[in-house]
Amino acid sequence: MTLGLRAALCLLWLLLAPASAGAEGVPADARVLLVTSAQSGAYAETVAAIRAALGPAVVAADILAVDWQALPDETLHAPRIIVTVGTQAAQAVAERSPRPPVLHTLVPHQTWERLAPQGANGRASAIFLDQPVERQLALIAEALPEWRRLALIASPRSEPLAAQLAAGAQLRRWTVTLESVTSDRDLYPALQRVLAAPAVLLALPDSTVFNSYTIQNVLLTAYRHQSPVIGFSPAYVRAGALLALYSTPSQIGAQAAAAVRTVLEGGALPAPAWPRQFEIGINQNVARSLGITLDPAEQIAARLARRERGP
Amino acid sequence: MPASPTGSRTSASSPPLYRTLANSLVASLLGLSAAPACADETVYLGELPVVLSASRLAQPLREAPGAVTVLDRDMIRASGARNLPDLLRWVPGFQVAAKQGHTPLTTYHGLSDDAPRRMLVRIDGRSAYSPYFVSGIEWHKITVDLDDIERIEVFRGTNAATYGSQAFMGVVNIVTRAAADTPRVRARVTQGGNGIRDRSASIGQQVGAAALRLTVGSEEDDGLANVHDSYRRRRADLRVDWQLASEHRLEAHAGAVRLDAGTGIADDPTNPPRELRSDSRFGQLRWRWQPGPDEELSLTYFHHAERLSDRFTLASVRDYLAAGLVRDRNLPPALADFLAAGFLVGIGIPAGDGSVHFDYANRIHRDDIEFEHTLAARRDLRVVWGAGYRQDRLHAPQLFARDDELYYNSRRLFGNFEWRATERWLFNGGIMAEDGNYSDILVAPRLAANYHLTPLHTIRASVSRANRRPTAFERHSDMRFREAVSGVLLQQSFQPSPAVRPERITASELGYLGEIAALDLSVDLRVFRERISRLARIEGQPSPLDPALDPDARQFFSDGRATLRGSELAVMWRPQRANWVGVNYTRLAVDADSGAPGDDRRDVEKIIELSVPRVSASVFAAWAPSRDWSLSVTRHYVGRTGWGTKNEAIAAPAYYRTDWRVARRFAAGPARAELALAVANGGDRHAEFDSRRPTPRQAYASLSVEF
């Protein structure tokens, strides 16, 4: 194809795109509207998981997925339920205060609190992306039963979370060292202090402290102090954390689909909830090098699930 | 995008412009998640660079194919050492001495003259072995600062299968801290007796996805007693880690070091007290690609350049000869002078006197490129293989009697595997093949089996063979000294040794490694036999050039044999990181057979036997009574050791040595500071290299600050 022809086609596509989107567009009778922050990666995975879990009871034509940027006002009032995937989508939908119930997914707990400062009102709910404090602490207890020291580094933003973790750890009679930093420049000395004795360093989902630039510093320093790091995403395990606790987009999608089904069947929107299903990632190379023997991830996950179900 | 209140802190604190630019540039070009700007779910979903890749992780000792001693940062600090070689005193089986204050000598299991060349030192994978002239490791040319070292892994025993022929009897791997793992600013001042004046300063900086560390420093002291060897060393060392993308990392290292030092002996006109200057610098680039969690490829290139200036003149050959006649033959000075003048006229120096210029200047360039591929082919099988090429260009007219450069090239191909056959059995195998323009293909294989009695108790057996390529000096040395005006050849002190062959070692060992976790105790026992054949020795042979003063010129011969048997025990009780008591004990027996003809035979065997200390032992302890205080003390015993001498009176007699250190940490405003007092060699006066050169006692204080 010549360059000129390609340019002409592009131009044509640009001219026709809005019209064709409208044309194939929003069937007024779509019962489930999925609004996504982006159309790739984890967002697409979540959408696919919701579709898969809803079918065949809910036919594909009844499910419409749109990008948050292509969100006409009128589409928001027709469906029986709106599911947002990601923070940008959640924000865009929340700002329009739609009539149907809204379920936010792939959003951290903190984002939900911002979107619904008064809490759930029956019209909106969420499935969080992050893991409950109790589950995180239980992971340490189950996977690393001999470790009794917990190290935390928080910025003012994540201090409430760090405080909850610290309180839970103290109930278990662990020693907790908590350092507050205001920028990543304070990170190095803070790491030296919390890891003065080997401890489990629990990474917090706080990009001031833990981001792709500081991760080197964090993992190398912890490794040098013979201290395992626990992360909150598979990327952490790849990068060199010993363990990570996370829910995959598919797991969250399946949980969202269950909520959608309830609403479609006439039930009420479930209350905001932590992800029910989760995974544990293990970096065996790091475990071996640190001389830590771990049970298989599935076994640890099963024990955590048993704990949560209660006796 | 709506302003995200959760992400506002970092962006509101207005980072410097270059930083913002670099962050966004790198993030946008390379697709890393630019986390500081947006929080929310991106922090859960974003990619992260692989930090603890297989090459960064230390191999668990119980899985290593040999005995490994690890010196970590706490131990390095507690040692109080001012230089790298002193740290090796804590490693069983190693001998450390100093020929001059600026020429430390290190060897494993003796067998060394005053130029040890049977072990390898690597810094971040870069060989510090100088196969150019005589000595293997010239410690003063290493630019790394002790505070920048992450850990030192010492492989006790031959490891040519992994690192090539220079790792003939052992390898010291120095791993420096990643640039990101560096305080922003660090400074250290050390001042003490014997002229000790050390300075060091370092900065660490993160610029976008790149972390940088620059350390500069200088060391000086007055060296050994009775020797003209005061020195000053200035150095700079740079490391940059640049995370190009989550799977790609670029590491750059560069360094330079200058040594200004005294050398020479007071009553030797052919080696008079004088000053020399040595410059050395290098640059290294390593690209690492981690396509998956179980695979890593790396490509490393480094260039190393050195320059030495060391020249002097023997002003009067006649005076030199006459003094010799007076000393050795007890002739009256006037007669000796007359005879010397007459002799010089007779050999073609008409004036009856002349001078000799000595110029040991040299220039060296090394280029080295290596490719390495690490792959966990299966869950139970890990493979590392690679290839490399090295070229050394040596220009040293006085040493090689040639004005052009001597090229010394080598190629290497290696492969190692680690097979976890069962929960209990682990097999390590490896082979290295090397060839070069002055040697045939050398093959070094190794096979090791580790059996885990329990996860914490391991028995190991290994066999290996290696060959050491002769150094350029061992093969090509050709040192000629001529009268400056007439050009008459007075002496050839070394002649080329085209027949010199690679030394060969065949080693077998049994090891036990145990960790008794309940008692915080680790035990490392190694019993070994090392058979070395074609051991090099030096002997005077008639010079083909017929020099006027001495008909003989020394040459290297490869006909010696030595068998070492012994055991090494290292026990460490370490209830806490900063508290420990360690005990090392080494016993060595040597059986030497020199291969030299006639009366020389016994002399050479004596040199070999004297070079191996029968017993050495160390006790080292560190105690931190509180967070702020730390105390450490080391007591060594080293049996009699000769460094290339057959004379028992010259070999360093058995000695005890005590080193200790007291340090207090405190906060100074935003900075963390430490004040330390150390005494090196606080025990009895003794010599470590040569009984005539006592090792000085050195007391020094050092203040370090970091923030």
Closest in A205, A225, A291 to B44, CB measured: A205
- Give residue B207's pLDDT: 86
Give me the total of CB pairs closer than 8 Å, taking one residue from chain A and one from chain B: 170
What's the pLDDT band for A258 if we cut at 50, 70, 90? very high
Q: Where are the beta strands (DSSP E) in B48-148?
A: 67-72, 94-100, 103-108, 120-123, 126-127
Partners of residue B181 in chain A, C-beta under 8 Å: 188, 216-217, 220-221, 224
Q: Do A230 and A183 reside in the same domain of the chain?
A: yes
pLDDT tens per residue, range A35-59: 999 988 899 999 999 999 998 888 8
Q: Which CATH number goes with the domain that contains A95? A: 3.40.50.360
Would you list the domain boundaries of chain B? 5-45, 61-315+355-706, 316-354
Q: Do A260 and A283 reside in the same domain of the chain?
A: no
Partners of residue B246 in chain A, C-beta under 8 Å: 212, 235
For the residues B52-80, what does the mean pLDDT come to? 88
Give A26-38 as a DSSP string: --TT-SEEEEES-
Q: Kindly tell me the burial class for residue A268, based on how many C-beta atoms sit within 10 Å of its own C-beta (0-12, 13-18, 19 or more).
A: exposed
Chain A's closest residue to B59, CA to CA, is A289
pLDDT tens per residue, range B103-151: 999 999 999 988 888 999 999 989 988 766 666 788 999 999 999 998 9
Q: Do A238 and B178 touch (CB under 8 A)?
A: no
Alpha-carbon distance of B42 to B31, in angstroms, equals: 13
- Give residue A125's pLDDT: 94
Residue listed under structure tokens 């995975």: A45
Q: Do A289 and B627 touch (CB under 8 A)?
A: no
Residue A304 lies in a domain: yes
> B67 vs chain A: nearest CA distance in angstroms?
16
Alpha-carbon distance of B291 to B374, in angstroms, equals: 11
Among B20, B26, B47, B52, pick the best mutation site for testing chain A contact (most A Cβ within 10 A): B52
Closest in A37, A183, A232 to B10, CB measured: A183
- Reported pTM: 0.84
334-353 in B: which are within 8 Å (CB) of A? none
- Give residue B439's pLDDT: 80
Q: Which CATH number goes with the domain that contains A167? A: 3.40.50.2300
Q: Are A93 and A82 in contact (CB under 8 A)?
A: yes
Q: Do A235 and A286 reside in the same domain of the chain?
A: yes
Q: Do B9 and A129 touch (CB under 8 A)?
A: no
Closest in B32, B44, B455 to A293, CB measured: B455
Q: Do A290 and A172 reside in the same domain of the chain?
A: yes
Predicted confidence (pLDDT) at residue A121 exceeds the cutoff of 60: yes
Whether B63 and chain A come into contact, CB under 8 Å, resolves to: yes
Q: Do B52 and A207 touch (CB under 8 A)?
A: no
Residues 6+ apart with CB under 8 A from B609: B590, B592
Residue A9 lies in a domain: no
Give A70-103 as a DSSP string: G--GGGGTSSSEEEEESHHHHHHHHHT--SS-EE
> B91 vs chain A: nearest CA distance in angstroms?
21
Q: Do A123 and A159 reside in the same domain of the chain?
A: no
Alpha helix stretches (DSSP H) within B330-396: 333-346
Whether B6 and chain A come into contact, CB under 8 Å, resolves to: yes
pLDDT tens per residue, range A150-182: 999 999 999 999 999 999 999 999 999 999 999
- Give residue A120's pLDDT: 62
> B692 vs chain A: nearest CA distance in angstroms?
43
Q: Do A170 and A282 reside in the same domain of the chain?
A: yes
For the residues B69-88, what does the mean pLDDT come to? 94
> A86 vs chain B: nearest CA distance in angstroms?
7
DSSP-derived secondary structure letter, B378: E
Residue A62 lies in a domain: yes
Total domains, chain A: 2
- Give residue B51's pLDDT: 84
Q: Are A215 and B180 in contact (CB under 8 A)?
A: no
Q: Where are the beta strands (DSSP E) in chain A?
A: 32-36, 63-67, 81-85, 102-107, 124-128, 149-154, 175-180, 200-202, 229-231, 243-246, 279-282
Per-residue HEC secondary structure of B223-254 comes to CCCCCCCCEEEEEEEEEEEEEEECCEEEEEEE
Tokens of A218: 């964090």
Residue listed under structure tokens 């402290």: A209
Find the domain containing A74 and state its range.
27-130+251-264
Residue A16 lies in a domain: no
pLDDT tens per residue, range B502-526: 999 999 999 999 988 888 899 999 9
Tokens of A100: 């149907």
Whether B707 and chain A come into contact, CB under 8 Å, resolves to: yes
Q: In terms of pLDDT, which residue wins out, B476 or A30?
A: B476
Q: Do A141 and A169 reside in the same domain of the chain?
A: yes
- Give residue B8's pLDDT: 30
pLDDT tens per residue, range B170-200: 999 999 988 888 888 999 999 999 999 999 9
For the residues A235-261, what does the mean pLDDT come to? 95
Alpha helix stretches (DSSP H) within B316-379: 317-329, 333-346
Q: Are B50 and A240 in contact (CB under 8 A)?
A: yes
Alpha-carbon distance of B179 to B152, in angstroms, equals: 17
Alpha-carbon distance of A124 to A31, in angstroms, equals: 17
Chain A's closest residue to B382, CA to CA, is A285
The percent of residues above 90 in pLDDT, for chain A, comes to: 59
- Of A266, A251, A311, A309, which is closest to residue A135 (Cα–Cα)? A309
Residues constituting chain B:
707
Give the class (CATH, top level) of B61-315+355-706. Answer: mainly beta
> A208 vs chain B: nearest CA distance in angstroms?
6
Alpha-carbon distance of A18 to A21, in angstroms, equals: 5
Residue A166 lies in a domain: yes
Per-residue HEC secondary structure of B171-190 comes to EEEEEECCCCCCCCEEEEEE
Q: Do A115 and A217 reside in the same domain of the chain?
A: no
- Give residue A63's pLDDT: 87
Residue A290 lies in a domain: yes
Q: How far is CA B115 from CA A21, A255, B280, in A?
A: 80, 71, 19
Q: Do A37 and A156 reside in the same domain of the chain?
A: no
Residue A270 lies in a domain: no
Predicted confidence (pLDDT) at residue A25 exceeds the cutoff of 60: no
Q: Do B44 and A246 touch (CB under 8 A)?
A: yes
pLDDT tens per residue, range B200-212: 999 999 888 899 9
Predicted confidence (pLDDT) at residue B22 exceeds the cutoff of 50: no
160-199 in B: which are within 8 Å (CB) of A? 177-178, 180-184
Predicted confidence (pLDDT) at residue B49 exceeds the cutoff of 90: no
